[in-house]
Homo-oligomer: A and B are copies of this chain.
């Protein structure tokens, strides 16, 4: 049976008991509304940890005013039943007031990494993510924590935070899971109209286009980015309220813009369909022989 923990002291007590009787404790931090992406993180945690705890908490701190905090999909009963099916040992599901009693003034700042890509249109978002993850890490004290590559910027920021602040735990980043047509699983996909959902395939297509251009020898960053944008624009121009947020090639270590295409680059896109904002990314490794020719 999956234990449900609703308060911080309950979670600490569970961890204390389970840690004595077991080895590695794995944490999968989520905002719930599970899809195949979450399940892949849970399965990986179950595979390599002795105990797996999943947190389900829609974190108000990472939503800016006007974003979709209130309407973010929530379905705890379904999530719990999926967690049970997957053999999760415990679910930590606190109320917002439990995590943020009045008087929170401490935050984890993530510097320039939090300003690139999604940070540009979501100011404060990654500070909110880093702060809640810091809290979860201190409450659960996991040996390993699991994040999805779909949120590449988040994964990089959490990895960096753990490294910079010397957290005694391992971060594992798991591959993006996609629907059959290539669209990355996201809790926000269900908000799309049928028309928007069919157009959403263009995110991954534009990433594959970037990959194919680069693998064919294209080494001009602006050219690749323009091709990506052109492809997306062509696909969404007739959809009301649809617009490109970004379509970029960036340095996978700094998320900064590139002077040159070499080694490994991260292609990253964000597209708005009305109030729903979708993201995707692809790591592109340039084969050394092509690099020499480029």
Q: Which residues of A contact B (CB under 8 A)?
A: 8, 12, 103-113, 127, 130-131, 134-135, 138-139, 141, 160-161, 164-168
Of all A-B residue pairs in the complex, the 3 with the closest CB atoms, nearest first, are A105-B111, A106-B164, A138-B166
Is the beta-carbon distance between A108 and B108 smaller than 8 angstroms?
yes
For A100, give the chain B residue with the smallest CB separation.
B164
- State the Cβ distance, A73 to closest chain B Cβ, in Å: 26
> A104-B164, A134-B165, A135-B166 provided; 20 other pairs, C-beta below 8 A?
A8-B166, A103-B164, A105-B111, A105-B113, A105-B164, A106-B109, A106-B110, A106-B111, A106-B130, A106-B160, A106-B161, A106-B164, A106-B165, A107-B108, A107-B111, A108-B165, A135-B165, A138-B165, A138-B166, A138-B168
* Cβ contacts A to B, 7 pairs, < 8 Å: A103-B164, A104-B164, A107-B108, A108-B108, A109-B109, A134-B165, A138-B165
Give the residues in chain B near A113, CB-CB below 8 Å.
Answer: 105
CA separation between A166 and B105, bound complex, in Å? 13
CA separation between A113 and B107, bound complex, in Å? 12
Is the beta-carbon distance between B168 and A141 smaller than 8 angstroms?
yes
For A130, give the chain B residue with the smallest CB separation.
B106
- State the Cβ distance, A62 to closest chain B Cβ, in Å: 15
Is the beta-carbon distance between A108 and B106 smaller than 8 angstroms?
yes
CA separation between A259 and B256, bound complex, in Å? 48
- State the Cβ distance, A74 to closest chain B Cβ, in Å: 23
CA separation between A168 and B127, bound complex, in Å? 21
- State the Cβ distance, A140 to closest chain B Cβ, in Å: 10
For A131, give the chain B residue with the smallest CB separation.
B165
Give the residues in chain B near A106, CB-CB below 8 Å.
Answer: 108-111, 130, 160-161, 164-165
For A167, give the chain B residue with the smallest CB separation.
B138
**Most chain-B Cβ atoms within 10 A of its Cβ — which of A134, A161, A165?**
A165
- State the Cβ distance, A5 to closest chain B Cβ, in Å: 14
For A15, give the chain B residue with the smallest CB separation.
B168
Is the beta-carbon distance between B108 and A112 smaller than 8 angstroms?
no
Give the residues in chain B near A141, CB-CB below 8 Å.
Answer: 168
Is the beta-carbon distance between A109 and B111 smaller than 8 angstroms?
no
CA separation between A96 and B113, bound complex, in Å? 23
**Most chain-B Cβ atoms within 10 A of its Cβ — which of A105, A108, A134, A161?**
A105
